[in-house]
Protein backbone atom coordinates (compact mmCIF):
# COMPACT_ATOMS: atom_id res chain seq x y z
CA UNK A 1 0.00 0.00 0.00
CA UNK A 2 2.83 2.40 0.88
CA UNK A 3 4.57 1.52 -2.39
CA UNK A 4 1.38 2.42 -4.26
CA UNK A 5 1.19 5.81 -2.52
CA UNK A 6 4.87 6.54 -3.20
CA UNK A 7 4.45 5.72 -6.90
CA UNK A 8 1.36 7.95 -7.10
CA UNK A 9 3.16 10.83 -5.37
CA UNK A 10 6.14 10.48 -7.71
CA UNK A 11 3.83 10.57 -10.74
CA UNK A 12 2.20 13.78 -9.53
CA UNK A 13 5.61 15.40 -8.98
CA UNK A 14 6.83 14.43 -12.46
CA UNK A 15 3.60 15.71 -14.04
CA UNK A 16 3.89 19.01 -12.22
CA UNK A 17 7.51 19.48 -13.30
CA UNK A 18 6.54 18.70 -16.88
CA UNK A 19 3.81 21.32 -16.93
CA UNK A 20 6.25 23.91 -15.59
CA UNK A 21 8.83 23.18 -18.26
CA UNK A 22 8.71 24.77 -21.70
CA UNK A 23 8.64 21.42 -23.42
CA UNK A 24 5.25 20.44 -22.02
CA UNK A 25 3.11 23.52 -22.67
CA UNK A 26 -0.60 22.96 -22.95
CA UNK A 27 -2.24 23.90 -26.27
CA UNK A 28 -3.66 27.40 -26.53
CA UNK A 29 -7.42 27.65 -26.11
CA UNK A 30 -9.21 28.33 -29.39
CA UNK A 31 -6.45 26.96 -31.61
CA UNK A 32 -7.66 23.38 -31.58
CA UNK A 33 -4.39 22.31 -29.94
CA UNK A 34 -2.65 22.42 -33.30
CA UNK A 35 -2.39 26.18 -33.77
CA UNK A 36 -4.76 25.96 -36.71
CA UNK A 37 -8.44 26.54 -37.30
CA UNK A 38 -10.79 23.72 -38.29
CA UNK A 39 -11.32 23.52 -42.03
CA UNK A 40 -14.79 24.49 -43.16
CA UNK A 41 -16.40 22.06 -45.61
CA UNK A 42 -16.51 23.49 -49.10
CA UNK A 43 -20.16 22.56 -49.45
CA UNK A 44 -21.87 23.74 -52.59
CA UNK A 45 -19.97 25.77 -55.14
CA UNK A 46 -20.40 29.52 -54.83
CA UNK A 47 -21.98 29.36 -58.29
CA UNK A 48 -24.82 27.30 -56.86
CA UNK A 49 -27.78 29.17 -55.42
CA UNK A 50 -28.44 29.00 -51.69
CA UNK A 51 -31.23 29.94 -49.28
CA UNK A 52 -31.22 33.69 -48.69
CA UNK A 53 -30.11 34.59 -52.23
CA UNK A 54 -32.18 37.33 -53.87
CA UNK A 55 -32.93 36.77 -57.56
CA UNK A 56 -34.38 38.58 -60.52
CA UNK A 57 -36.44 36.31 -62.79
CA UNK A 58 -37.37 37.74 -66.20
CA UNK A 59 -40.12 36.04 -68.23
CA UNK A 60 -39.93 37.13 -71.87
CA UNK A 61 -41.31 36.12 -75.26
CA UNK A 62 -44.85 35.80 -73.89
CA UNK A 63 -47.96 38.00 -74.21
CA UNK A 64 -47.46 39.36 -70.69
CA UNK A 65 -43.68 39.65 -70.10
CA UNK A 66 -42.75 40.31 -66.49
CA UNK A 67 -39.90 40.72 -64.02
CA UNK A 68 -40.06 39.07 -60.59
CA UNK A 69 -37.87 39.77 -57.58
CA UNK A 70 -37.77 36.70 -55.39
CA UNK A 71 -35.72 35.32 -52.53
CA UNK A 72 -34.86 31.69 -51.94
CA UNK A 73 -36.48 30.63 -48.67
CA UNK A 74 -35.07 28.37 -45.95
CA UNK A 75 -36.42 25.32 -47.77
CA UNK A 76 -34.60 26.28 -50.97
CA UNK A 77 -37.74 27.35 -52.85
CA UNK A 78 -38.93 30.34 -54.83
CA UNK A 79 -42.49 31.07 -55.96
CA UNK A 80 -43.55 32.28 -59.42
CA UNK A 81 -46.93 33.06 -61.03
CA UNK A 82 -49.00 30.06 -62.14
CA UNK A 83 -46.38 27.43 -61.29
CA UNK A 84 -46.07 28.19 -57.58
CA UNK A 85 -43.05 26.88 -55.65
CA UNK A 86 -40.00 25.58 -57.46
CA UNK A 87 -36.68 24.36 -56.08
CA UNK A 88 -33.85 26.85 -56.65
CA UNK A 89 -31.19 26.04 -54.05
CA UNK A 90 -28.36 23.88 -55.37
CA UNK A 91 -28.85 25.01 -58.98
CA UNK A 92 -26.90 27.54 -61.00
CA UNK A 93 -28.74 30.50 -62.52
CA UNK A 94 -28.56 28.80 -65.91
CA UNK A 95 -29.99 25.54 -64.55
CA UNK A 96 -32.76 27.39 -62.76
CA UNK A 97 -33.64 29.31 -65.92
CA UNK A 98 -33.98 26.03 -67.79
CA UNK A 99 -36.09 24.46 -65.04
CA UNK A 100 -38.49 27.41 -64.91
CA UNK A 101 -38.87 27.43 -68.69
CA UNK A 102 -39.50 23.67 -68.78
CA UNK A 103 -42.08 23.90 -65.96
CA UNK A 104 -44.08 26.60 -67.75
CA UNK A 105 -44.02 24.64 -71.03
CA UNK A 106 -44.79 21.25 -69.46
CA UNK A 107 -47.84 22.69 -67.70
CA UNK A 108 -49.06 24.26 -70.96
CA UNK A 109 -49.13 27.81 -69.66
CA UNK A 110 -47.15 28.96 -72.71
CA UNK A 111 -46.07 27.47 -76.01
CA UNK A 112 -42.82 29.43 -75.96
CA UNK A 113 -41.07 31.41 -73.23
CA UNK A 114 -37.63 32.83 -72.54
CA UNK A 115 -36.42 32.87 -68.95
CA UNK A 116 -33.38 34.58 -67.48
CA UNK A 117 -32.28 34.48 -63.84
CA UNK A 118 -29.82 36.87 -62.26
CA UNK A 119 -28.51 37.07 -58.71
CA UNK A 120 -29.20 40.50 -57.24
CA UNK A 121 -28.01 40.09 -53.65
CA UNK A 122 -26.16 37.49 -51.60
CA UNK A 123 -25.35 37.83 -47.92
CA UNK A 124 -23.60 36.43 -44.91
CA UNK A 125 -24.82 37.23 -41.42
CA UNK A 126 -22.74 38.52 -38.49
CA UNK A 127 -24.24 38.63 -35.03
CA UNK A 128 -23.27 38.96 -31.41
CA UNK A 129 -20.39 41.06 -30.14
CA UNK A 130 -19.67 43.24 -33.18
CA UNK A 131 -20.33 46.95 -33.60
CA UNK A 132 -22.97 46.60 -36.34
CA UNK A 133 -24.64 43.16 -36.31
CA UNK A 134 -26.60 42.23 -39.41
CA UNK A 135 -26.26 41.24 -43.05
CA UNK A 136 -22.99 41.70 -44.92
CA UNK A 137 -23.04 41.59 -48.70
CA UNK A 138 -21.15 38.55 -49.94
CA UNK A 139 -18.26 38.83 -52.39
CA UNK A 140 -16.04 36.01 -53.67
CA UNK A 141 -13.07 37.22 -51.56
CA UNK A 142 -15.01 37.65 -48.31
CA UNK A 143 -13.30 35.93 -45.37
CA UNK A 144 -14.22 35.55 -41.73
CA UNK A 145 -12.12 38.51 -40.57
CA UNK A 146 -13.25 40.70 -43.48
CA UNK A 147 -16.89 40.03 -42.57
CA UNK A 148 -16.20 40.98 -38.96
CA UNK A 149 -14.45 44.18 -40.10
CA UNK A 150 -17.42 44.99 -42.36
CA UNK A 151 -19.65 44.66 -39.29
CA UNK A 152 -17.60 47.35 -37.54
CA UNK A 153 -15.17 45.02 -35.78
CA UNK A 154 -15.39 43.37 -32.39
CA UNK A 155 -16.79 45.05 -29.31
CA UNK A 156 -14.56 45.20 -26.26
CA UNK A 157 -16.54 42.30 -24.81
CA UNK A 158 -16.05 39.92 -27.75
CA UNK A 159 -14.55 36.49 -27.33
CA UNK A 160 -12.29 36.79 -30.36
CA UNK A 161 -10.73 33.35 -29.99
CA UNK A 162 -14.07 31.55 -30.42
CA UNK A 163 -16.05 32.75 -33.44
CA UNK A 164 -18.90 30.40 -34.31
CA UNK A 165 -19.29 29.95 -38.07
CA UNK A 166 -22.44 28.15 -39.22
CA UNK A 167 -22.49 26.56 -42.67
CA UNK A 168 -25.16 24.18 -43.89
CA UNK A 169 -26.60 23.98 -40.36
CA UNK A 170 -23.27 22.86 -38.88
CA UNK A 171 -21.32 25.06 -36.43
CA UNK A 172 -17.53 25.40 -36.32
CA UNK A 173 -15.51 27.36 -33.75
CA UNK A 174 -12.64 29.42 -35.18
CA UNK A 175 -10.01 31.68 -33.63
CA UNK A 176 -10.12 35.13 -35.23
CA UNK A 177 -6.85 36.14 -33.55
CA UNK A 178 -5.13 33.22 -35.23
CA UNK A 179 -6.72 34.17 -38.56
CA UNK A 180 -5.39 37.71 -38.20
CA UNK A 181 -1.88 36.43 -37.56
CA UNK A 182 -1.99 33.83 -40.31
CA UNK A 183 -4.17 34.57 -43.39
CA UNK A 184 -4.14 30.90 -44.38
CA UNK A 185 -6.27 30.27 -41.27
CA UNK A 186 -8.85 32.87 -42.37
CA UNK A 187 -11.43 30.87 -44.36
CA UNK A 188 -13.42 32.29 -47.23
CA UNK A 189 -17.13 32.45 -46.60
CA UNK A 190 -19.97 31.21 -48.77
CA UNK A 191 -23.32 32.93 -49.30
CA UNK A 192 -25.66 32.11 -46.44
CA UNK A 193 -22.90 31.53 -43.87
CA UNK A 194 -23.48 33.11 -40.48
CA UNK A 195 -21.03 34.21 -37.79
CA UNK A 196 -21.89 34.51 -34.12
CA UNK A 197 -19.46 36.18 -31.73
CA UNK A 198 -20.10 35.40 -28.08
CA UNK A 199 -19.37 37.62 -25.12
CA UNK A 200 -16.17 36.85 -23.24
CA UNK A 201 -16.48 35.65 -19.66
CA UNK A 202 -13.84 38.21 -18.59
Domain boundary among 80, 98, 121: 121
Same domain, 135 and 115: no
User: Does residue 89 form part of some domain?
Assistant: yes
Q: What is the pLDDT of residues 1-30, one digit of tens each?
A: 444 444 444 444 334 443 334 333 333 333
Domain around 97: 54-121
Same domain, 116 and 70: yes
Amino acid 129: pLDDT: 97
State residue 2's pLDDT score. 40
Residue 181 lies in a domain: yes
For residue 127, what is the DSSP state?
E
CATH at 77: 3.30.1950.10
User: How many residues belong to the chain?
Assistant: 202
3-state DSSP assignment of residue 84: strand
**130 band by pLDDT with thresholds 50, 70 and 90:** very high
Global pTM reads 0.71
Domain boundary among 121, 151, 166: 121
pLDDT at position 44: 65
Q: Which residues contact 182 (CB under 8 A, 6 or more apart)?
A: none
130 and 147 share a domain? Answer: yes
Amino acid sequence: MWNHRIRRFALLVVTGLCLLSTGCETPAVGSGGLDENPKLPEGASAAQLRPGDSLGVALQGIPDPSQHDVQIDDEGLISLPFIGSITAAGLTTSELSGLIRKTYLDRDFYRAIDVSVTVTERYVYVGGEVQRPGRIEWTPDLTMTKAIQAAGGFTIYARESAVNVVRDQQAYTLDAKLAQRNPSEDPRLLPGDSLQIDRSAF
